[in-house]
Structure 1
Amino acid sequence: MVPDRLKPHMRWERWLGLARREIWPLLAVLLVAGGLLAFGKLAEEVLEGDTGAFDRAVLLALRNPADLSDPIGPGWVEEMARDVTSLGSHAILTLITLAVIGYLMMVRKRAAALLVFASIGGGMLLSAVLKHVFERARPELVPHAVPVYTASFPSGHAMLSALTYLTLGALLIRVESSRRVKAYLIAVAIIVTFLVGGSRVYLGVHWPTDVLAGWCVGATWATLWWLVALWLQRRGDVEREGRKEPD
């Protein structure tokens, strides 16, 4: 029997535990709504031509005024930007996704592996559809430092890197118990996402608003799939977190 004097305390602890459990899904829902609104606003401004001054100012700020074919900074910075931008290519993202799926299969997280496949594959399809819908021309204000073949809005590299790295990070932390490892996974995903998107503007192949839109959609997609993973995990359809490891 629990003494009466302890019952209010226990109810308070249960309430706090429930609040902590539900606050992250609530924040995720708000992030999804905010991401959709931000993308919608950006798309409207781009279609109306209201972002032209901002886009041109940023692109020109990243170029040598005496030679617009020369990005600012030493030559090794431009070469490094080319290397970084490849982290958002279809080939690299596909290899990374397959590697993660292989790892999840080896550790018997088959449902999580299927979730990764569905989320990344669906995101790549979404990127292709959005580019076809908007058909924005690539910037011709400065010479392109790397070849491009598709439409400009939203940035495929920015969107795909965001949805892939953030989705992988968000899904992997659902099967990871260590808080330190969880923080590390998300931090790496965010840093790589920003570096890839920034490299596209630096190399002159995207307007800044293309990259912002790509980040919005990619981050929203990743958050949405984190919610799906959480829901399935609570239902028992996706493997729960592993045994707690010491931090």
Structure 2
Amino acid sequence: MSGRSAPAVLPSSLRVWLGLIAALAALVVVVLGVVYADAGRAGRVDARIWAAVEGVGPLWRHVALATDFLGEPVGAATLVVATVTGCLLLRRPRAAVLVVAGVGITVATATLLKHLVGRTIHGDDNLSYPSGHTAFLTALAFAVALLVTGRFGLGRTAGTSLVLAAGLVAGAAMGWAQVALGAHYPTDVLGGWCTALAVTPATAWLVDRTADRLGDRTADAGRRERR
């Protein structure tokens, strides 16, 4: 199967809206990064949200720890492998590539931003902005939602709504866990969520563009061989 015959991972009907959302998310990431550069304490917004979330009971703490595990190396690898396997079983190779590339580039971007911004929590060695755990789970949910959108041929409104809802639920769940456990400031979580919203659509576009170019080259080579 050539790259062109494989279904696009980023439906054309979603490109404009998701592109605009990605640009806005990137702006939020930059603004928050500038505001909290080299900071080592909670801001006013952070303090208010923290006051409402902190002090969860034992049961909810276990839920937070279980959610946090999904962003740890073992939990994250398990989720990625399971998702890639599902994509391949559904014969969606581009979606499988997006899961790996989208999650990988998003986490790498979050890690780079941590060193550039230099915001810390619980000591100078704990870089916190943006939240890599939140960025990871949001990117994965985003990729899965794009797969579902393409699989069922959802239109612009339904597809965009599904993708954003999936990213919001995943980001909110992991973000709550990070704040409840005291691992991140709330604005770190927002930064991680926006990092995924900015990087994943761009990665999806890049996956489609690369696959299409490879498909064109393969088709051209095939035509030359038949001459």
Q: How many residues align?
A: 200
Please report how far the alpha carbon of residue 26 of structure 1 lies from its aligned counterpart in structure 2 after TM superposition. 1.5
CA contact (8 A) 2:38 2:118 kept: no
Other-structure match for 1:24: 14
Other-structure match for 1:117: 100
CA contact (8 A) 1:167 1:221 kept: no
| Greater CA drift, 39-48 or 126-135 | 126-135
Other-structure match for 1:97: 80
- Aligned partners of 1:58 and 1:112: how far apart in 2? 36
CA contact (8 A) 1:139 1:204 kept: no
Structure with bigger gyration radius:
1
- Which TM-score applies when normalising by structure 2? 0.72
- Aligned partners of 2:163 and 2:47: how far apart in 1? 35
CA contact (8 A) 1:167 1:225 kept: no
- Aligned partners of 2:201 and 2:59: how far apart in 1? 35
Other-structure match for 1:43: 33
What SS does the corresponding residue of 1:88 show, helix, strand or coil? coil
Please report how far the alpha carbon of residue 132 of structure 1 lies from its aligned counterpart in structure 2 after TM superposition. 2.4
AA in 1 matched with 2:83: V
The reply to whether residue 223 of structure 1 matches residue 209 of structure 2 is no
Which of 171, 185, 189 is the aligned partner of 1:193? Answer: 171
Please report how far the alpha carbon of residue 189 of structure 1 lies from its aligned counterpart in structure 2 after TM superposition. 4.5
Q: Does the C-alpha gap of structure 1 residues 209 and 111 become closer, same or farther in structure 2, counting only changes over 3 Å?
A: closer
Q: Does the C-alpha gap of structure 1 residues 36 and 43 become closer, same or farther in structure 2, counting only changes over 3 Å?
A: same
Q: Does the C-alpha gap of structure 1 residues 184 and 34 become closer, same or farther in structure 2, counting only changes over 3 Å?
A: closer
Q: Which runs of 5+ in 1 are unaligned?
A: 1-20, 64-70, 141-148, 238-247
- Aligned partners of 1:62 and 1:185: how far apart in 2? 27
Identity of aligned residues (%): 22
AA in 2 matched with 1:127: A
Please report how far the alpha carbon of residue 210 of structure 1 lies from its aligned counterpart in structure 2 after TM superposition. 0.7
Cα RMSD, aligned residues only: 3.2
Other-structure match for 2:145: 169
What SS does the corresponding residue of 1:47 show, helix, strand or coil? coil
The reply to whether residue 61 of structure 1 matches residue 55 of structure 2 is no
Please report how far the alpha carbon of residue 119 of structure 1 lies from its aligned counterpart in structure 2 after TM superposition. 2.0
The C-alpha deviation readout for 1:105-130, integer Å capped at 9, x for no partner, is 33433343233322222222222222
- Aligned partners of 1:76 and 1:165: how far apart in 2? 25
AA in 2 matched with 1:169: A
- Which TM-score applies when normalising by structure 1? 0.67
Other-structure match for 1:143: none
